[in-house]
Amino acid sequence: GEFNDWNPDATPLTSEGVSGIWEAFVPHVGHGAIYKYQIWSRLHGQVVQKADPFAIHAETSPKTGSVVWDLEYEW
């Protein structure tokens, strides 16, 4: 994402075992930071960038990035 200058090697995900869940911790990422997942497809043998299917916020079309969103709201 923006926080690592879109370097796909800077923030690798790690597998959480057989659950199928992958994760990474990125310190100092703030509200509004844009990111995507870079995935190597075994089926097609190519690298693709994908939006986070569980993201709270996304860029406006035609852009496709996911956006870090702070859910804290002070009433």
Which pLDDT value is given to residue 62?
Answer: 96
Angle at 16 between CA 12 and CA 54, to 5 degrees: 75
pTM: 0.81
Which pLDDT value is given to residue 53?
Answer: 93
Distance CA 19, CA 22 (A): 9
Which pLDDT value is given to residue 75?
Answer: 73
Helix (H, G, I), strand (E, B) or coil at 29: coil
- Domain locations in the chain? 2-67
- Mean pLDDT per segment of 10 residues, for the chain of length 75 residues? 91 90 89 93 88 95 95 78
Distance CA 51, CA 64 (A): 6
Looking at domain 2-67, its CATH class is: mainly beta
Which pLDDT value is given to residue 20?
Answer: 86
For residue 35, how many other CB atoms are within 10 A of its CB?
21
